[in-house]
Structure 1
Amino acid sequence: MTCASCVGRVERALRSAPGVTDATVNLATERATVKGSVDAATLIKVVSEVGYEARLVDRSNTASAEAEAQKEERRVLSRDLGVAAALTAPVFLLEMGSHVIPGMHHLIASTIGMTASWLIQFALTTLVLAFPGIRFFQKGIPALLRAAPDMNSLVAVGTLAAYTFSLVATFAPGLLPVGTVNVYYEAAAVIVSLVLVGRVLEARAKGRTSEAIKRLVGLQAKTARVRRATSVIEIEVADVAPGDIIEVRPGERVPVDGEVIEGESWIDESMITGEPLPVATSAGAQVTGRRPLILGTLVHTGNDAYMPATGRLIRIKVFDTRRV
Protein backbone atom coordinates (compact mmCIF):
# COMPACT_ATOMS: atom_id res chain seq x y z
CA MET A 1 0.00 0.00 0.00
CA THR A 2 1.22 3.49 -0.80
CA CYS A 3 -1.46 5.95 0.35
CA ALA A 4 -4.71 6.46 2.25
CA SER A 5 -6.64 5.46 -0.86
CA CYS A 6 -4.99 2.03 -0.73
CA VAL A 7 -5.91 1.67 2.94
CA GLY A 8 -9.55 2.50 2.25
CA ARG A 9 -9.71 0.07 -0.65
CA VAL A 10 -8.28 -2.81 1.38
CA GLU A 11 -10.57 -2.05 4.33
CA ARG A 12 -13.66 -2.06 2.11
CA ALA A 13 -12.59 -5.35 0.55
CA LEU A 14 -12.06 -7.00 3.93
CA ARG A 15 -15.36 -5.72 5.31
CA SER A 16 -17.18 -7.10 2.28
CA ALA A 17 -16.01 -10.65 3.05
CA PRO A 18 -18.77 -12.90 4.46
CA GLY A 19 -18.50 -13.19 8.24
CA VAL A 20 -16.42 -10.04 8.79
CA THR A 21 -17.93 -7.58 11.27
CA ASP A 22 -15.14 -5.00 11.17
CA ALA A 23 -11.68 -4.46 9.69
CA THR A 24 -9.03 -1.80 10.19
CA VAL A 25 -5.85 -1.34 8.16
CA ASN A 26 -2.70 0.46 9.30
CA LEU A 27 -0.54 1.94 6.55
CA ALA A 28 2.55 2.39 8.74
CA THR A 29 2.67 -1.18 10.04
CA GLU A 30 1.10 -2.70 6.90
CA ARG A 31 -1.25 -4.81 9.00
CA ALA A 32 -4.96 -5.45 8.97
CA THR A 33 -6.96 -6.37 12.06
CA VAL A 34 -10.17 -8.23 11.28
CA LYS A 35 -13.07 -9.09 13.58
CA GLY A 36 -15.61 -11.78 12.80
CA SER A 37 -15.84 -15.42 11.85
CA VAL A 38 -13.90 -15.99 8.63
CA ASP A 39 -10.88 -18.01 7.54
CA ALA A 40 -7.59 -16.42 6.51
CA ALA A 41 -7.74 -17.83 2.97
CA THR A 42 -10.93 -15.89 2.25
CA LEU A 43 -9.39 -12.67 3.52
CA ILE A 44 -6.26 -13.15 1.44
CA LYS A 45 -8.41 -13.81 -1.61
CA VAL A 46 -10.52 -10.65 -1.28
CA VAL A 47 -7.38 -8.56 -0.81
CA SER A 48 -5.79 -10.04 -3.94
CA GLU A 49 -8.97 -9.32 -5.93
CA VAL A 50 -8.50 -5.59 -5.38
CA GLY A 51 -4.85 -5.72 -6.47
CA TYR A 52 -2.89 -6.17 -3.24
CA GLU A 53 -1.06 -9.00 -1.55
CA ALA A 54 -1.67 -10.32 1.96
CA ARG A 55 -0.39 -13.05 4.21
CA LEU A 56 -1.17 -14.31 7.68
CA VAL A 57 1.13 -12.88 10.35
CA ASP A 58 3.54 -15.48 11.68
CA ARG A 59 3.74 -14.52 15.37
CA SER A 60 6.66 -16.86 16.02
CA ASN A 61 9.14 -14.69 14.11
CA THR A 62 7.12 -11.59 13.30
CA ALA A 63 9.68 -9.00 14.42
CA SER A 64 12.67 -10.49 12.59
CA ALA A 65 10.69 -11.29 9.44
CA GLU A 66 9.18 -7.80 9.22
CA ALA A 67 12.52 -6.13 9.88
CA GLU A 68 14.15 -8.19 7.15
CA ALA A 69 11.34 -7.46 4.69
CA GLN A 70 11.53 -3.72 5.36
CA LYS A 71 15.32 -3.79 5.02
CA GLU A 72 15.01 -5.55 1.66
CA GLU A 73 12.38 -3.06 0.50
CA ARG A 74 14.65 -0.13 1.37
CA ARG A 75 17.58 -1.81 -0.38
CA VAL A 76 15.62 -2.40 -3.60
CA LEU A 77 14.17 1.12 -3.61
CA SER A 78 17.57 2.69 -2.99
CA ARG A 79 19.10 0.63 -5.78
CA ASP A 80 16.36 1.55 -8.23
CA LEU A 81 16.60 5.20 -7.26
CA GLY A 82 20.32 5.16 -7.97
CA VAL A 83 19.78 3.59 -11.39
CA ALA A 84 16.94 5.99 -12.24
CA ALA A 85 18.95 9.05 -11.15
CA ALA A 86 22.00 7.97 -13.16
CA LEU A 87 19.91 7.48 -16.31
CA THR A 88 17.77 10.59 -15.79
CA ALA A 89 20.64 13.06 -15.28
CA PRO A 90 21.89 12.93 -18.92
CA VAL A 91 18.32 13.15 -20.25
CA PHE A 92 17.65 16.21 -18.13
CA LEU A 93 20.89 17.90 -19.19
CA LEU A 94 20.35 17.21 -22.89
CA GLU A 95 16.82 18.61 -22.89
CA MET A 96 16.85 21.20 -20.09
CA GLY A 97 20.55 21.95 -19.97
CA SER A 98 20.17 25.40 -21.52
CA HIS A 99 18.37 26.49 -18.34
CA VAL A 100 21.50 25.60 -16.39
CA ILE A 101 24.30 26.12 -18.91
CA PRO A 102 23.85 28.96 -21.43
CA GLY A 103 24.31 27.83 -25.03
CA MET A 104 23.80 24.14 -24.20
CA HIS A 105 21.26 23.57 -26.99
CA HIS A 106 23.45 25.37 -29.50
CA LEU A 107 26.37 23.17 -28.48
CA ILE A 108 24.29 19.98 -28.90
CA ALA A 109 22.94 21.12 -32.28
CA SER A 110 26.43 21.91 -33.56
CA THR A 111 27.98 18.64 -32.36
CA ILE A 112 25.80 15.50 -32.19
CA GLY A 113 22.66 17.18 -33.57
CA MET A 114 19.16 17.33 -32.09
CA THR A 115 18.07 14.09 -33.74
CA ALA A 116 20.88 12.18 -32.06
CA SER A 117 20.07 13.95 -28.81
CA TRP A 118 16.46 12.80 -29.02
CA LEU A 119 17.55 9.23 -29.76
CA ILE A 120 19.85 9.22 -26.73
CA GLN A 121 17.04 10.56 -24.58
CA PHE A 122 14.70 7.90 -25.98
CA ALA A 123 17.13 5.10 -25.11
CA LEU A 124 17.85 6.33 -21.58
CA THR A 125 14.20 7.10 -20.75
CA THR A 126 13.14 3.70 -22.04
CA LEU A 127 15.58 2.11 -19.58
CA VAL A 128 14.22 4.24 -16.73
CA LEU A 129 10.63 3.21 -17.43
CA ALA A 130 11.44 -0.43 -18.19
CA PHE A 131 13.43 -1.12 -15.04
CA PRO A 132 13.17 1.28 -12.05
CA GLY A 133 9.79 2.59 -13.24
CA ILE A 134 8.19 -0.73 -14.19
CA ARG A 135 6.64 -1.04 -10.71
CA PHE A 136 4.32 1.88 -11.44
CA PHE A 137 2.95 0.23 -14.59
CA GLN A 138 2.64 -3.23 -13.02
CA LYS A 139 0.41 -1.87 -10.25
CA GLY A 140 -1.01 1.31 -11.74
CA ILE A 141 -2.38 0.00 -15.04
CA PRO A 142 -4.32 -2.95 -13.49
CA ALA A 143 -5.74 -0.58 -10.87
CA LEU A 144 -6.82 1.78 -13.64
CA LEU A 145 -8.51 -1.07 -15.53
CA ARG A 146 -10.40 -2.00 -12.34
CA ALA A 147 -11.67 1.61 -12.19
CA ALA A 148 -9.85 2.02 -8.89
CA PRO A 149 -6.85 4.22 -9.74
CA ASP A 150 -4.20 4.92 -7.14
CA MET A 151 -0.93 6.83 -6.95
CA ASN A 152 0.76 4.26 -9.18
CA SER A 153 -1.92 4.88 -11.81
CA LEU A 154 -1.25 8.61 -11.71
CA VAL A 155 2.50 8.11 -12.25
CA ALA A 156 1.89 5.52 -14.99
CA VAL A 157 -0.54 7.74 -16.92
CA GLY A 158 1.66 10.83 -16.62
CA THR A 159 4.88 9.16 -17.69
CA LEU A 160 3.19 7.14 -20.44
CA ALA A 161 1.60 10.27 -21.92
CA ALA A 162 4.91 12.16 -22.03
CA TYR A 163 6.78 9.12 -23.34
CA THR A 164 4.22 8.29 -26.06
CA PHE A 165 4.06 11.85 -27.37
CA SER A 166 7.86 11.97 -27.44
CA LEU A 167 7.97 8.69 -29.38
CA VAL A 168 5.68 10.11 -32.04
CA ALA A 169 7.75 13.32 -32.23
CA THR A 170 10.96 11.29 -32.59
CA PHE A 171 9.95 8.61 -35.09
CA ALA A 172 6.79 9.96 -36.79
CA PRO A 173 6.87 13.78 -36.56
CA GLY A 174 4.64 14.10 -39.60
CA LEU A 175 1.67 12.92 -37.52
CA LEU A 176 1.85 16.02 -35.32
CA PRO A 177 0.64 19.52 -36.21
CA VAL A 178 3.24 22.00 -37.38
CA GLY A 179 5.02 23.70 -34.49
CA THR A 180 4.16 21.01 -31.92
CA VAL A 181 7.01 18.60 -32.61
CA ASN A 182 8.94 18.36 -29.37
CA VAL A 183 10.00 15.70 -26.92
CA TYR A 184 9.27 15.33 -23.21
CA TYR A 185 11.46 12.38 -22.33
CA GLU A 186 12.95 14.31 -19.41
CA ALA A 187 9.47 14.76 -17.89
CA ALA A 188 8.82 11.00 -17.87
CA ALA A 189 12.26 10.19 -16.45
CA VAL A 190 12.22 12.92 -13.82
CA ILE A 191 8.72 11.93 -12.61
CA VAL A 192 9.90 8.37 -11.99
CA SER A 193 13.05 9.53 -10.21
CA LEU A 194 11.24 12.02 -7.96
CA VAL A 195 8.52 9.56 -7.00
CA LEU A 196 11.20 7.00 -6.16
CA VAL A 197 12.85 9.60 -3.91
CA GLY A 198 9.53 9.87 -2.08
CA ARG A 199 9.21 6.09 -1.84
CA VAL A 200 12.72 5.79 -0.36
CA LEU A 201 11.99 8.48 2.25
CA GLU A 202 8.65 6.83 3.02
CA ALA A 203 10.29 3.42 3.47
CA ARG A 204 12.87 4.88 5.85
CA ALA A 205 10.21 6.69 7.87
CA LYS A 206 8.09 3.56 7.98
CA GLY A 207 11.06 1.58 9.24
CA ARG A 208 11.68 4.07 12.06
CA THR A 209 7.98 4.01 12.97
CA SER A 210 7.94 0.22 13.07
CA GLU A 211 11.00 0.18 15.32
CA ALA A 212 9.37 2.65 17.69
CA ILE A 213 6.20 0.55 17.80
CA LYS A 214 8.19 -2.61 18.49
CA ARG A 215 10.01 -0.96 21.38
CA LEU A 216 6.70 0.31 22.75
CA VAL A 217 5.06 -3.09 22.49
CA GLY A 218 8.12 -4.60 24.15
CA LEU A 219 7.30 -2.62 27.31
CA GLN A 220 3.87 -4.19 27.65
CA ALA A 221 3.16 -6.75 30.34
CA LYS A 222 4.02 -10.23 29.07
CA THR A 223 2.70 -12.24 31.99
CA ALA A 224 0.03 -12.01 34.68
CA ARG A 225 -0.29 -13.57 38.11
CA VAL A 226 -3.63 -15.38 38.22
CA ARG A 227 -5.29 -16.83 41.30
CA ARG A 228 -6.21 -20.44 40.66
CA ALA A 229 -7.83 -22.33 43.56
CA THR A 230 -5.71 -21.47 46.63
CA SER A 231 -2.52 -20.49 44.84
CA VAL A 232 -1.30 -17.74 42.51
CA ILE A 233 0.47 -18.76 39.32
CA GLU A 234 2.18 -16.66 36.66
CA ILE A 235 0.96 -17.27 33.09
CA GLU A 236 1.20 -15.64 29.68
CA VAL A 237 -1.20 -12.74 29.14
CA ALA A 238 -2.56 -14.59 26.10
CA ASP A 239 -3.76 -17.37 28.43
CA VAL A 240 -5.74 -15.07 30.76
CA ALA A 241 -9.49 -15.64 30.44
CA PRO A 242 -12.48 -13.44 31.35
CA GLY A 243 -13.48 -14.13 34.95
CA ASP A 244 -9.94 -14.81 36.16
CA ILE A 245 -8.71 -13.01 39.27
CA ILE A 246 -5.29 -11.44 38.77
CA GLU A 247 -2.96 -9.73 41.21
CA VAL A 248 -1.04 -6.56 40.31
CA ARG A 249 1.68 -5.19 42.60
CA PRO A 250 2.91 -1.60 42.83
CA GLY A 251 5.24 -0.71 39.96
CA GLU A 252 3.60 -3.19 37.57
CA ARG A 253 1.36 -2.57 34.58
CA VAL A 254 -2.22 -3.77 34.44
CA PRO A 255 -2.06 -6.54 31.82
CA VAL A 256 -5.77 -6.71 30.86
CA ASP A 257 -9.07 -4.88 31.40
CA GLY A 258 -10.94 -5.61 34.57
CA GLU A 259 -12.56 -4.42 37.79
CA VAL A 260 -10.77 -4.04 41.10
CA ILE A 261 -12.34 -6.34 43.68
CA GLU A 262 -9.81 -6.00 46.49
CA GLY A 263 -7.08 -3.59 47.58
CA GLU A 264 -6.33 0.11 47.17
CA SER A 265 -3.62 1.85 45.17
CA TRP A 266 -2.90 4.59 42.64
CA ILE A 267 -2.90 3.97 38.89
CA ASP A 268 -1.15 6.12 36.32
CA GLU A 269 -3.73 6.50 33.51
CA SER A 270 -1.94 9.32 31.65
CA MET A 271 -1.59 7.29 28.46
CA ILE A 272 -5.37 6.78 28.41
CA THR A 273 -6.82 10.01 29.79
CA GLY A 274 -3.90 12.45 29.72
CA GLU A 275 -4.28 13.00 33.46
CA PRO A 276 -0.72 13.71 34.73
CA LEU A 277 -1.30 12.48 38.29
CA PRO A 278 -2.05 8.89 39.33
CA VAL A 279 -5.66 8.20 40.27
CA ALA A 280 -6.72 6.62 43.56
CA THR A 281 -8.18 3.18 42.87
CA SER A 282 -10.16 0.88 45.14
CA ALA A 283 -12.75 -1.91 44.91
CA GLY A 284 -15.31 -1.28 42.18
CA ALA A 285 -13.00 0.79 39.96
CA GLN A 286 -12.42 -0.31 36.38
CA VAL A 287 -8.85 -0.50 35.10
CA THR A 288 -7.50 -0.60 31.57
CA GLY A 289 -4.97 -3.07 30.24
CA ARG A 290 -3.35 -3.38 26.85
CA ARG A 291 -4.49 -1.81 23.61
CA PRO A 292 -2.72 -1.42 20.29
CA LEU A 293 0.12 1.08 20.93
CA ILE A 294 -0.89 1.46 24.60
CA LEU A 295 1.21 -0.11 27.33
CA GLY A 296 -1.47 -0.58 29.92
CA THR A 297 -2.05 1.56 32.99
CA LEU A 298 0.65 1.52 35.65
CA VAL A 299 0.06 0.77 39.34
CA HIS A 300 2.03 3.48 41.12
CA THR A 301 4.28 2.79 44.09
CA GLY A 302 2.91 5.85 45.93
CA ASN A 303 4.63 7.44 48.92
CA ASP A 304 5.37 10.90 47.48
CA ALA A 305 3.97 14.44 47.80
CA TYR A 306 0.77 13.58 45.94
CA MET A 307 0.32 10.08 47.35
CA PRO A 308 1.51 10.02 50.96
CA ALA A 309 0.57 6.40 51.50
CA THR A 310 2.41 3.45 49.99
CA GLY A 311 0.80 1.67 47.05
CA ARG A 312 -0.65 -1.77 47.74
CA LEU A 313 -1.33 -4.94 45.83
CA ILE A 314 -4.72 -4.98 44.12
CA ARG A 315 -6.78 -7.89 42.85
CA ILE A 316 -8.65 -7.48 39.58
CA LYS A 317 -11.45 -9.52 38.06
CA VAL A 318 -10.84 -9.79 34.33
CA PHE A 319 -13.64 -8.92 31.93
CA ASP A 320 -11.68 -8.22 28.72
CA THR A 321 -8.48 -9.87 27.47
CA ARG A 322 -8.06 -7.92 24.22
CA ARG A 323 -4.42 -7.46 23.31
CA VAL A 324 -2.14 -6.44 20.46
Structure 2
Amino acid sequence: MRIPITTAASVTVLLGLMLTDALPISAQAPPASSQGTPAQSGRGGGGRRGAGGFVPGQQRPPGDPAEIARGKTLYGISCTGCHGADLRGGDLGGPNLLRSQTALADQEGERIIPVIEGSRQAAGMPAIPMSAADAKAVSAYVRSILETIGRQGTPPSVGQVAPSVLVGNAAAGQVYFAAKCAACHSATGDLQGIATRIPDPKALQNTWVAGGGGGRRGGGTASAARTVTATVTGNSGEKVEGRLIRIDDFLVTLALADGTMRSFRRTGDLPKVEVHDPMKGHRDLLAVYTDKDMHDVTAFLVTLK
Protein backbone atom coordinates (compact mmCIF):
# COMPACT_ATOMS: atom_id res chain seq x y z
CA MET A 1 0.00 0.00 0.00
CA ARG A 2 1.39 3.43 -0.88
CA ILE A 3 1.14 6.23 1.64
CA PRO A 4 0.46 9.72 0.20
CA ILE A 5 3.37 12.12 0.57
CA THR A 6 1.35 14.53 2.69
CA THR A 7 0.41 11.71 5.08
CA ALA A 8 4.03 10.53 5.36
CA ALA A 9 5.16 14.07 6.12
CA SER A 10 2.51 14.40 8.81
CA VAL A 11 3.63 11.17 10.41
CA THR A 12 7.25 12.39 10.41
CA VAL A 13 6.27 15.66 12.11
CA LEU A 14 4.16 13.80 14.67
CA LEU A 15 7.04 11.44 15.52
CA GLY A 16 9.34 14.42 15.93
CA LEU A 17 6.91 16.04 18.36
CA MET A 18 6.56 12.78 20.29
CA LEU A 19 10.36 12.49 20.67
CA THR A 20 10.59 16.09 21.82
CA ASP A 21 7.86 15.57 24.43
CA ALA A 22 9.58 12.40 25.65
CA LEU A 23 12.66 14.25 26.90
CA PRO A 24 13.11 14.15 30.70
CA ILE A 25 12.00 17.18 32.68
CA SER A 26 15.60 17.83 33.76
CA ALA A 27 16.64 18.21 30.14
CA GLN A 28 14.00 20.82 29.22
CA ALA A 29 14.90 24.41 28.66
CA PRO A 30 14.20 26.73 31.61
CA PRO A 31 11.42 29.31 31.24
CA ALA A 32 12.46 32.32 29.20
CA SER A 33 13.52 35.30 31.25
CA SER A 34 13.54 38.93 30.20
CA GLN A 35 16.91 39.25 31.99
CA GLY A 36 18.65 36.27 30.36
CA THR A 37 21.90 35.15 32.00
CA PRO A 38 25.10 35.02 29.92
CA ALA A 39 24.87 31.23 29.70
CA GLN A 40 21.29 31.42 28.38
CA SER A 41 21.49 34.50 26.18
CA GLY A 42 21.28 33.99 22.45
CA ARG A 43 23.72 35.27 19.93
CA GLY A 44 21.90 38.53 19.74
CA GLY A 45 22.67 39.13 23.42
CA GLY A 46 26.37 38.52 22.93
CA GLY A 47 26.46 35.72 25.50
CA ARG A 48 28.11 32.35 25.03
CA ARG A 49 25.92 29.32 24.45
CA GLY A 50 25.68 27.12 27.54
CA ALA A 51 27.02 23.57 27.52
CA GLY A 52 24.74 20.67 26.78
CA GLY A 53 24.66 19.98 23.08
CA PHE A 54 21.22 19.77 21.48
CA VAL A 55 19.34 19.81 24.80
CA PRO A 56 18.60 23.44 25.72
CA GLY A 57 19.37 24.31 29.33
CA GLN A 58 21.29 21.08 29.98
CA GLN A 59 23.84 21.61 32.73
CA ARG A 60 26.45 18.95 33.45
CA PRO A 61 29.29 18.84 35.97
CA PRO A 62 32.72 19.29 34.34
CA GLY A 63 34.39 16.04 33.31
CA ASP A 64 37.71 14.73 34.57
CA PRO A 65 40.25 15.11 31.70
CA ALA A 66 42.08 11.89 32.62
CA GLU A 67 38.82 9.92 32.76
CA ILE A 68 37.71 11.40 29.43
CA ALA A 69 41.02 10.47 27.78
CA ARG A 70 40.68 6.92 29.13
CA GLY A 71 37.09 6.78 27.91
CA LYS A 72 38.19 7.87 24.44
CA THR A 73 40.62 4.97 24.25
CA LEU A 74 38.00 2.48 25.49
CA TYR A 75 35.44 3.87 23.05
CA GLY A 76 37.91 3.43 20.20
CA ILE A 77 38.39 -0.23 21.13
CA SER A 78 34.84 -1.30 21.96
CA CYS A 79 32.41 1.15 20.34
CA THR A 80 33.82 2.56 17.09
CA GLY A 81 32.71 -0.37 14.93
CA CYS A 82 29.02 0.29 15.63
CA HIS A 83 28.92 4.00 16.48
CA GLY A 84 31.82 5.39 14.44
CA ALA A 85 34.94 7.27 15.44
CA ASP A 86 32.97 10.54 15.37
CA LEU A 87 29.89 9.06 17.17
CA ARG A 88 27.78 9.51 14.04
CA GLY A 89 27.27 5.80 13.41
CA GLY A 90 29.66 3.12 12.20
CA ASP A 91 29.96 0.37 9.59
CA LEU A 92 27.99 -2.11 11.72
CA GLY A 93 24.88 0.09 11.76
CA GLY A 94 24.91 1.55 15.26
CA PRO A 95 22.90 4.75 15.83
CA ASN A 96 24.23 8.30 15.76
CA LEU A 97 25.06 9.08 19.41
CA LEU A 98 25.11 12.82 18.73
CA ARG A 99 21.34 12.61 18.30
CA SER A 100 20.65 9.95 20.92
CA GLN A 101 18.19 11.22 23.51
CA THR A 102 19.75 8.79 26.00
CA ALA A 103 23.21 10.29 25.52
CA LEU A 104 22.02 13.89 25.33
CA ALA A 105 20.11 13.63 28.62
CA ASP A 106 22.87 11.75 30.47
CA GLN A 107 24.38 13.59 33.42
CA GLU A 108 26.84 11.26 35.13
CA GLY A 109 26.43 7.95 33.31
CA GLU A 110 23.04 7.07 34.76
CA ARG A 111 21.57 6.62 31.26
CA ILE A 112 24.55 5.51 29.17
CA ILE A 113 26.05 2.94 31.57
CA PRO A 114 22.94 0.69 31.77
CA VAL A 115 22.91 0.52 27.96
CA ILE A 116 26.58 -0.50 27.93
CA GLU A 117 25.77 -3.15 30.55
CA GLY A 118 23.02 -4.66 28.39
CA SER A 119 19.71 -2.96 29.23
CA ARG A 120 18.84 -2.78 25.52
CA GLN A 121 19.85 -6.24 24.36
CA ALA A 122 16.29 -6.93 23.25
CA ALA A 123 16.55 -3.93 20.91
CA GLY A 124 19.77 -5.18 19.34
CA MET A 125 22.37 -3.40 21.50
CA PRO A 126 24.57 -6.14 23.03
CA ALA A 127 26.17 -5.84 26.46
CA ILE A 128 29.78 -4.64 26.21
CA PRO A 129 32.18 -6.52 28.50
CA MET A 130 33.84 -3.80 30.55
CA SER A 131 34.06 -2.83 34.19
CA ALA A 132 31.77 -0.26 35.80
CA ALA A 133 34.69 2.19 35.97
CA ASP A 134 35.41 1.71 32.25
CA ALA A 135 31.74 2.19 31.36
CA LYS A 136 31.74 5.40 33.41
CA ALA A 137 34.82 6.60 31.52
CA VAL A 138 33.16 5.88 28.16
CA SER A 139 30.06 7.81 29.19
CA ALA A 140 32.27 10.73 30.28
CA TYR A 141 33.94 10.72 26.86
CA VAL A 142 30.60 10.66 25.01
CA ARG A 143 29.38 13.60 27.11
CA SER A 144 32.59 15.50 26.41
CA ILE A 145 31.91 15.24 22.66
CA LEU A 146 28.30 16.30 23.11
CA GLU A 147 29.50 19.36 25.02
CA THR A 148 31.22 20.61 21.86
CA ILE A 149 27.97 20.76 19.88
CA GLY A 150 27.33 24.38 19.01
CA ARG A 151 30.87 25.48 19.92
CA GLN A 152 32.95 23.75 17.26
CA GLY A 153 34.69 26.24 15.01
CA THR A 154 34.83 28.96 17.65
CA PRO A 155 38.29 30.22 18.71
CA PRO A 156 39.87 28.61 21.80
CA SER A 157 39.98 30.44 25.08
CA VAL A 158 42.78 33.00 25.05
CA GLY A 159 45.59 32.59 27.56
CA GLN A 160 44.78 29.01 28.58
CA VAL A 161 47.67 26.59 28.33
CA ALA A 162 46.71 23.13 27.05
CA PRO A 163 47.15 20.51 29.80
CA SER A 164 50.04 18.09 29.42
CA VAL A 165 49.94 14.34 30.01
CA LEU A 166 53.63 14.37 30.91
CA VAL A 167 53.11 14.28 34.66
CA GLY A 168 54.43 10.77 35.34
CA ASN A 169 57.71 9.33 36.57
CA ALA A 170 59.83 7.94 33.73
CA ALA A 171 61.86 5.66 36.04
CA ALA A 172 58.67 4.15 37.51
CA GLY A 173 57.32 3.77 33.97
CA GLN A 174 60.42 1.84 32.93
CA VAL A 175 59.95 -0.54 35.86
CA TYR A 176 56.27 -1.04 34.95
CA PHE A 177 57.21 -1.62 31.30
CA ALA A 178 59.77 -4.25 32.26
CA ALA A 179 57.20 -6.09 34.41
CA LYS A 180 54.09 -5.88 32.20
CA CYS A 181 55.17 -5.15 28.63
CA ALA A 182 58.66 -6.49 27.97
CA ALA A 183 57.43 -10.03 27.24
CA CYS A 184 56.02 -8.79 23.92
CA HIS A 185 57.70 -5.41 23.34
CA SER A 186 61.23 -4.04 23.45
CA ALA A 187 62.50 -0.50 24.00
CA THR A 188 65.37 -1.30 21.63
CA GLY A 189 63.25 -3.28 19.17
CA ASP A 190 59.70 -2.57 17.98
CA LEU A 191 59.35 0.53 20.18
CA GLN A 192 62.72 2.04 19.35
CA GLY A 193 62.16 5.63 18.21
CA ILE A 194 58.44 5.58 19.04
CA ALA A 195 58.69 9.08 20.54
CA THR A 196 60.04 10.31 17.20
CA ARG A 197 57.31 8.56 15.21
CA ILE A 198 54.61 9.90 17.56
CA PRO A 199 55.98 13.21 18.91
CA ASP A 200 52.76 14.34 20.59
CA PRO A 201 52.74 12.85 24.14
CA LYS A 202 48.94 12.72 24.30
CA ALA A 203 48.70 10.88 20.98
CA LEU A 204 51.50 8.58 22.12
CA GLN A 205 49.64 7.74 25.33
CA ASN A 206 46.39 7.05 23.50
CA THR A 207 48.25 4.89 20.97
CA TRP A 208 50.07 2.62 23.39
CA VAL A 209 47.09 2.22 25.73
CA ALA A 210 45.03 1.10 22.73
CA GLY A 211 47.76 -1.40 21.79
CA GLY A 212 49.31 0.44 18.84
CA GLY A 213 52.67 1.98 18.12
CA GLY A 214 54.73 -1.14 17.49
CA GLY A 215 54.74 -4.72 16.34
CA ARG A 216 55.86 -7.53 18.59
CA ARG A 217 59.26 -8.54 19.88
CA GLY A 218 61.19 -10.27 17.13
CA GLY A 219 59.66 -8.28 14.26
CA GLY A 220 56.49 -8.49 12.26
CA THR A 221 54.14 -5.74 11.21
CA ALA A 222 51.81 -4.04 13.67
CA SER A 223 48.72 -5.10 11.68
CA ALA A 224 49.82 -8.75 11.71
CA ALA A 225 50.49 -8.53 15.42
CA ARG A 226 46.87 -7.47 16.00
CA THR A 227 45.22 -10.19 13.90
CA VAL A 228 42.99 -12.56 15.88
CA THR A 229 43.20 -16.16 14.66
CA ALA A 230 41.57 -19.40 15.76
CA THR A 231 42.18 -23.12 15.45
CA VAL A 232 39.16 -25.43 15.11
CA THR A 233 39.73 -29.12 15.90
CA GLY A 234 37.01 -31.43 14.58
CA ASN A 235 35.88 -34.79 16.00
CA SER A 236 38.20 -36.55 13.55
CA GLY A 237 41.19 -34.60 14.82
CA GLU A 238 41.43 -32.41 11.72
CA LYS A 239 42.65 -28.92 12.57
CA VAL A 240 41.66 -25.84 10.59
CA GLU A 241 43.34 -22.52 11.33
CA GLY A 242 42.54 -19.07 9.97
CA ARG A 243 41.72 -15.48 10.74
CA LEU A 244 38.73 -15.28 13.07
CA ILE A 245 35.75 -13.63 11.40
CA ARG A 246 32.96 -14.53 13.82
CA ILE A 247 32.44 -16.61 16.92
CA ASP A 248 29.40 -17.11 19.14
CA ASP A 249 27.68 -19.98 20.94
CA PHE A 250 26.41 -21.46 17.68
CA LEU A 251 28.91 -20.70 14.93
CA VAL A 252 32.57 -19.97 14.27
CA THR A 253 33.76 -18.60 10.92
CA LEU A 254 37.38 -18.47 9.74
CA ALA A 255 39.07 -16.81 6.75
CA LEU A 256 41.53 -19.35 5.39
CA ALA A 257 44.93 -18.72 3.80
CA ASP A 258 43.61 -19.52 0.31
CA GLY A 259 41.10 -16.66 0.52
CA THR A 260 38.04 -18.81 1.23
CA MET A 261 35.91 -18.77 4.36
CA ARG A 262 34.74 -21.77 6.34
CA SER A 263 32.10 -21.96 9.06
CA PHE A 264 31.62 -24.60 11.74
CA ARG A 265 28.46 -25.26 13.72
CA ARG A 266 29.07 -25.38 17.47
CA THR A 267 27.27 -27.66 19.91
CA GLY A 268 28.44 -27.05 23.43
CA ASP A 269 32.24 -27.44 23.52
CA LEU A 270 32.40 -29.22 20.16
CA PRO A 271 34.24 -28.70 17.95
CA LYS A 272 37.15 -27.48 20.06
CA VAL A 273 37.97 -23.84 19.32
CA GLU A 274 41.20 -22.16 20.41
CA VAL A 275 41.32 -18.39 19.93
CA HIS A 276 44.71 -16.70 19.57
CA ASP A 277 44.37 -12.98 20.33
CA PRO A 278 47.69 -11.07 20.30
CA MET A 279 45.94 -8.08 21.86
CA LYS A 280 44.59 -10.01 24.85
CA GLY A 281 47.38 -8.71 27.07
CA HIS A 282 46.44 -5.12 26.27
CA ARG A 283 42.76 -5.77 26.82
CA ASP A 284 43.43 -7.44 30.16
CA LEU A 285 45.59 -4.53 31.31
CA LEU A 286 42.88 -2.00 30.45
CA ALA A 287 40.92 -3.25 33.44
CA VAL A 288 43.80 -2.71 35.87
CA TYR A 289 45.69 0.34 34.59
CA THR A 290 45.69 3.26 37.00
CA ASP A 291 46.15 6.85 35.89
CA LYS A 292 49.60 6.75 37.52
CA ASP A 293 50.53 3.64 35.53
CA MET A 294 49.56 5.27 32.25
CA HIS A 295 51.31 8.56 33.02
CA ASP A 296 54.47 6.79 34.20
CA VAL A 297 54.70 4.56 31.12
CA THR A 298 54.04 7.55 28.84
CA ALA A 299 56.82 9.48 30.60
CA PHE A 300 59.14 6.55 29.88
CA LEU A 301 58.08 6.10 26.25
CA VAL A 302 58.71 9.77 25.37
CA THR A 303 62.39 9.12 26.15
CA LEU A 304 62.59 6.50 23.37
CA LYS A 305 63.77 8.82 20.63
Q: Give TM-score, length-normalised by structure 2.
A: 0.20
For normalisation by structure 1, the TM-score amounts to 0.19
More helix by share: 1
Asked which structure has the greater RCO (Cα within 8 Å, sep 6+), the reply is 2
Greater radius of gyration (CA): 1
- As a proportion of its length, which structure holds more strand? 1
